[in-house]
Amino acid sequence: MNTPTPIGKKSYKEYEKELKEHKLSKVEKIELNLVGDLKKKTDVVSKIMTATNKEWKKAEELSSSTYLDLTDVYDEWRSLETKAKTFTSKVKAVEKLNQNVNSAQDELHRQLTDLINIITEATSVTKELGINVNDMSGMSEAKDIRAMSIKILDTVRQDGLRSRTMQDMEGKLKAILG
């Protein structure tokens, strides 16, 4: 196979013979240059690989820590949501009880007014008759009930302020929770 090659008049065998005669000296130089380039590139890639791995490990640690923080925040949020729902239901129960108290308070006020009028009338009649009002049957109990009723009405009025404050707090809570 001594046909000419596309790069010249020599055949492949002739090129092969020349290379053997020169003992591949040029090829060895090329190989030596490649070895140096290979060593340099391996060192560069190794350094970059080490730095990349180090940064990746830092990112993984921070990511794990951040995930744990997120889990804690989520758990706290769920707990606060539960507490807010419980608070809201308690406020609604207080509102319902306050409505009942308001109705009872109105009725107590009407009945107390009637009782005070009767005590006043009885005091006037017994005075005209010259009888001691406290000797009248049921008068002592009526005066005690009157005093307790007045005290209860005062207490309910004062607690009503607290109930309104709770309603304000519920409004603020609803605004926070959206």
In a domain, 143, yes or no: yes
The listed range with the strongest mean pLDDT (2-6, 54-58, 63-67, 101-105) is 54-58
5 to 1, 2, 11, 12: CA distances (angstroms): 10, 9, 6, 7
pLDDT of residue 53: 92
Residue whose pair of structure tokens reads 């794990």 in the numeric block:
64
- The one-letter amino acid at 79: S
In a domain, 103, yes or no: yes
User: How many helices (H) and strands (E) in the chain?
Assistant: 3, 0
pLDDT of residue 35: 79
In a domain, 7, yes or no: no
In a domain, 150, yes or no: yes
In a domain, 75, yes or no: yes
Predicted confidence band of residue 11 (pLDDT cuts 50, 70, 90)? confident
Give tens-digit pLDDT for 23-55. Answer: 554 555 556 677 788 889 999 999 999 999 999
Is the model's pLDDT at 147 over the cut of 60? yes
Q: What are the backbone angles phi and psi of residue 8, rounded to the nearest 5°?
A: 175, -170
**Does the predicted model carry a pTM greater than 0.75?**
no
In a domain, 107, yes or no: yes
Is the model's pLDDT at 13 over the cut of 80? no
* Structural domains in the chain (count): 1
In a domain, 2, yes or no: no
d(CA 41, CA 29): 18
Name the residue range of residue 104's domain.
Answer: 12-177
In a domain, 19, yes or no: yes
The DSSP string of 30-75 is: HHHHHHHHHHHHHHHHHHHHHHHHHHHHHHHHHHHHHHHHHHHHHH
